[in-house]
Structure 1
Amino acid sequence: MAKHTKTFGPSPVIPVDERSVTSHMVHFVSYASNPILAGLQPLEYTGWRDESLSWHDSSYIHANLNPSPTYRFWGADSIEFLKKYCGNSFEKFPVGFAKHGIMLDEQGRIMVDGLLVRREEDFITYWMNPWLQYCVENSELDVQGEDVTGKVFMFQLGGPTCLQVLDAASGENLHDIKFIHHRMSKIAGRDVMILRVGMAGSLAYEVHGNVEDAIPVYEQILKAGVKYGLKRLGTPAYNMTHWENGFPQAYLDFPLPWFEHKEFAAWLREREIGFLCDPEIVKDSLSGSVGQDFAARYRNPIELGWGKTINMDHEFVGKKAVEELKAKSSRQMVTLEWNKEDILDIHRSQLGDPVPYKDISSPEDLAFGGIYPADWVLNDKGEQVGVSSGRMVSWFYREMISLCSIDEAYLNEGTDVWVLWGEPGTRQKKVRAKVARYPYFNECRNQKVDTSLIPVGTMD
């Protein structure tokens, strides 16, 4: 008897697109505690090469993060709650502002991070659930919350012309929105919140609204974008935005230590989402020469380059551990450029060797079957000095790059290291690599773009 499998229809937030260059589809399943619609979305539209040029020379729209884990909360003690559970400072957090919220465990490891937005009457977060909800429900402070995953949508836009696209779509001049600020607007007659933030490093925005308004808003943005070269991003190209931008991210570059927290794991199981902290499921998702060494995969904010975001002006969970990390030598993030001759040798082995090296033909690992890739980085003595994750082919720069957490002695650009390619117990290759600039994309970064120099976008 055939095993029953659940089928999914089109995504509820984007129109059906039969012009995709590939028949491969992906469904994105939420981490919400309540069942919601999950839909199929193309892996590619015009091909990963074309799409990955968009944040350099035109603009893009990405919708494959729908539905994102989304949680809103409110209450008299909301700021005190944030101070207790986040490493960020909240002395200045006015309405209309947003922060990269970072929550740690007592060992200083990342428990969750995401976008934290302050609105008139409440706060709304993206990708900070379910840990944030667990903290709200177990806090003695005056704070309440609601899981709104699946009730809202989020579209990401980026690239040199993305502001003009949004101007045209809204019929409004949006140049006044400063970096990491937001305000309300309308697109296709629907209320939306527009936030200036992005993952690719270039000028970028997010559009948020109610899920029932998603498709007309999306269609209006596409219509406005024709004039400005707007492209749609599939999953591979979206993953690449993080690595060119130098922004390591949970679920892509490192796992979260949820299954090590027994009370939280029990809370997840009570809500029938215990698979999120099942160690056996997590083990099955690991790839790369690091193998199943969890300790080597977890990350703290110092080695991720988020030390400036963590502020020691208040007491918070994990503060003591962060103080100890800051006081000693710590690994830090760099970009690695992989040696092209070694890459070609791996390709050659697929056709010429009885036992080839691990396949390296995909443009990046995650969308094509690899999850949490992590490879040991070695020095010339063969000693482990770092962990590389998120390998990608950067079509714009014509390089294969990866993000790497590496010992302090190896931070200088041009330093030679080796990436150990291949799973434990299989044929492995030491790929030559060099420490490169970090972040790799360093032209016209979002926070430095002077939007007053950009013409206001209009519809034809």
Structure 2
Amino acid sequence: MDGYFSLEDKIQATGGNPAVMLRNNPGVRHPFPYPPEWTSWHTEQYAWKNGCVLFDQGEHMSDIYFSGPDVRRLFSDTALNDMSTFTRNDAKQFVACAPDGRFIGDAVLFGMEDDSWSLVGAPIAANWVHYQAIAGGYDVEVTLDHASPYNPAPRKLWRYQLNGPLTHDVIEAVAGRQIETPKFFGVVEFEIDGTPVRALNHTMSGVPGDRLTGLELYGPREHADRVMMALMQAGEPLGLQRGGALAYVSSGHESGWWAAPIPAIFSQPELKAYREWLPGFATEASLVVDGSFESLNVEDYYLDPWELGYGRLINWNHDFIGKQALEERRDAPHKKKVWLVWNDDDFIRLMRDGLFGGDDSRTRIVSPSSLYTPSQHYDTVLRGDRFVGFSNFGGYTVNMGRVVSIATIEEADAVDGAEVEIVWGEPDGGRGRRFMEPHHVQTRVRATVATRSPAKVPVQA
């Protein structure tokens, strides 16, 4: 269409190399339309392991609805997951791959009704499914309900997340009755103050036990304030805390979720039509790559499902986009997702040199998250002088008492206690990069591999 500026146009306008585009995008932090902290980020972190915290998820995530007779066939064709029995009040961690088997995006899929499903999260996975619905001629209607900062219309649903070992107590206090624990990723329905509520059994904290330790509640938007007031009135006597943006983002350090890796859509000739369909202001076009790993080949940043911990979700009993490519690599070695526990002394050195290093400074680390730019972070991980993978999302929580980052490294090196080094800081001192100090010096940070989250047990008061 005349005047339309697509992702493909943006790639070509920046020299035709998507890796260069991603390294030089200006980048804008995704807005969270609520306070960074309600009390303090460390108090709010402590609550999801030792009490209960409430996060408002109804503003910063997109909800994209797919309705119609072909909705199951559409999702079966685009998801590596099994969709054969998915129905109302089911939920899944939906994962989509490109035809070459490399990762595009993930989101939580909700069965709103038998023939009406929604994808909730960053819109990357939903954009892919939306395009496939159009290109494949599926009998499906798509309704967009984007994150509030980009959406002039009122949102359709409110969405609140409760997390922590007191979640069950809080929800029964506000509901005024016993609530049975649904299966993991199952949905239960009840009422709060006379308003309809659905709740997904889903936790960001990983506290073990048979009782509910995490619930993602949602319902019609017009009841949002009423439900929030009821939750706080019932929950505050039990110690319920509200959580802000800083604590919310830092929950990934414990859960191990790698948020929005670079989707495998930028280079393949067969995906040119998709890049031409995506607007030049889409999330995919606005991503930024930062970190010590630098390549002119964008495919070096692509990952496959195994490398992100999603290999267990692959269902081989149905046809889906990328299946053939994944089958060809099914028995090959794969990188493995791990936690890297940073050396305390090296972290302290980075903090000292970042603040007081003068002309020989190190890149500063911001607590509770170590990301120094609004970006997708790819730091080189070395064992000795051997490249073994990438370190990504990093930071600190009081429940771990350590700084960690999420990484994907060679399977042979993914051993508890293995010693590695993270190359920290931009190549060439960040010269020419936006959001960088005028100059900094790359350095190495010692780290230890952990194959499970370092924060699996509640902290004792």
Give the TM-score of the pair, scaled to structure 2.
0.81
Q: Does 2:237 match 1:227?
A: yes
Q: In the TM superposition, what are the counterparts of 1:430-449 in structure 2 within 5 Å?
A: 430-443=444-457
Partner Cα separation in structure 2 for residue 27 and residue 62 of structure 1: 19
Equivalent in 350, 362, 368 of residue 363 of structure 1: 368
Partner Cα separation in structure 1 for residue 302 and residue 38 of structure 2: 33
Q: What's the secondary structure of 2:73's corresponding residue?
A: helix
Q: In the TM superposition, what are the counterparts of 1:275-314 in structure 2 within 5 Å?
A: 275-278=282-285, 281-282=286-287, 285-291=288-294, 294-314=298-318
Letter in 1 for 2:398: W
Partner of 1:132: 129
Q: Does 2:407 match 1:404?
A: yes
Equivalent in 299, 319, 325 of residue 321 of structure 1: 325
C-alpha deviation, 1:342, in angstroms: 1.1
Equivalent in 265, 268, 285 of residue 278 of structure 2: 268
Partner Cα separation in structure 2 for residue 369 and residue 169 of structure 1: 40
Partner of 1:144: 141
Quick check: 1:55–1:200 contact (8 Å CA) kept in 2? yes
Structure 1 pair 326/225, CA: closer, same or farther in 2 (3 Å)? same
Q: What's the secondary structure of 1:347's corresponding residue?
A: helix
C-alpha deviation, 1:259, in angstroms: 4.2
Letter in 1 for 2:412: A
Equivalent in 443, 446, 458 of residue 429 of structure 1: 443
Gaps of 5+ in 1: 1-25, 30-38, 445-460
Partner of 2:257: 247
Deviations 1:18-62 (A, max 9, x none): xxxxxxxx9956xxxxxxxxx731111111111111121001111
Structure 1 pair 365/346, CA: closer, same or farther in 2 (3 Å)? closer
Structure 1 pair 443/133, CA: closer, same or farther in 2 (3 Å)? same
C-alpha deviation, 1:184, in angstroms: 2.3
Q: What's the secondary structure of 2:313's corresponding residue?
A: coil
C-alpha deviation, 1:414, in angstroms: 0.6
RMSD: 2.2
Structure 1 pair 94/152, CA: closer, same or farther in 2 (3 Å)? closer
Partner of 1:373: 377
Q: Does 2:381 match 1:384?
A: no
Structure 1 pair 401/306, CA: closer, same or farther in 2 (3 Å)? same
Structure 1 pair 132/198, CA: closer, same or farther in 2 (3 Å)? farther
Deviations 1:267-307 (A, max 9, x none): 232xxx634333xx43xx32221246643433221111111
Q: Does 2:397 match 1:394?
A: yes
Partner Cα separation in structure 2 for residue 369 and residue 420 of structure 1: 16
Partner Cα separation in structure 2 for residue 263 and residue 276 of structure 1: 17
Partner Cα separation in structure 2 for residue 296 and residue 157 of structure 1: 37
Structure 1 pair 352/141, CA: closer, same or farther in 2 (3 Å)? closer
Equivalent in 73, 78, 100 of residue 93 of structure 2: 100
Quick check: 1:265–1:274 contact (8 Å CA) kept in 2? no
Quick check: 2:69–2:139 contact (8 Å CA) kept in 1? yes
Quick check: 2:346–2:446 contact (8 Å CA) kept in 1? yes
Q: Does 2:263 match 1:256?
A: yes
Structure 1 pair 393/369, CA: closer, same or farther in 2 (3 Å)? same
Q: Does 2:197 match 1:192?
A: yes
Quick check: 2:104–2:262 contact (8 Å CA) kept in 1? no
Q: Which moved more, 1:87-96 or 1:299-308?
A: 87-96
Partner Cα separation in structure 2 for residue 370 and residue 338 of structure 1: 22
Deviations 1:359-379 (A, max 9, x none): 12432135x644212211011
Structure 1 pair 402/67, CA: closer, same or farther in 2 (3 Å)? closer
How many residues align? The count is 398
Partner Cα separation in structure 1 for residue 174 and residue 295 of structure 2: 47
Q: Does 2:206 match 1:177?
A: no
Quick check: 2:36–2:245 contact (8 Å CA) kept in 1? yes
C-alpha deviation, 1:233, in angstroms: 1.6
Partner of 2:17: none
Q: Which moved more, 1:388-397 or 1:286-295?
A: 286-295
Letter in 2 for 1:374: Y
Gaps of 5+ in 2: 1-27, 147-154, 208-212, 430-440
Deviations 1:322-367 (A, max 9, x none): 112322111010111111111122222232553211112432135x
Quick check: 1:109–1:298 contact (8 Å CA) kept in 2? yes
Q: Which moved more, 1:329-338 or 1:212-221?
A: 212-221
Equivalent in 47, 56, 71 of residue 64 of structure 2: 71
Identity of aligned residues (%): 27
Deviating beyond 6 angstroms after TM superposition, the runs of 4 or more aligned structure 1 residues are none
Q: What's the secondary structure of 2:159's corresponding residue?
A: strand
Structure 1 pair 207/228, CA: closer, same or farther in 2 (3 Å)? same
Partner of 1:457: none
Quick check: 1:28–1:40 contact (8 Å CA) kept in 2? no
Partner Cα separation in structure 1 for residue 156 and residue 30 of structure 2: 15
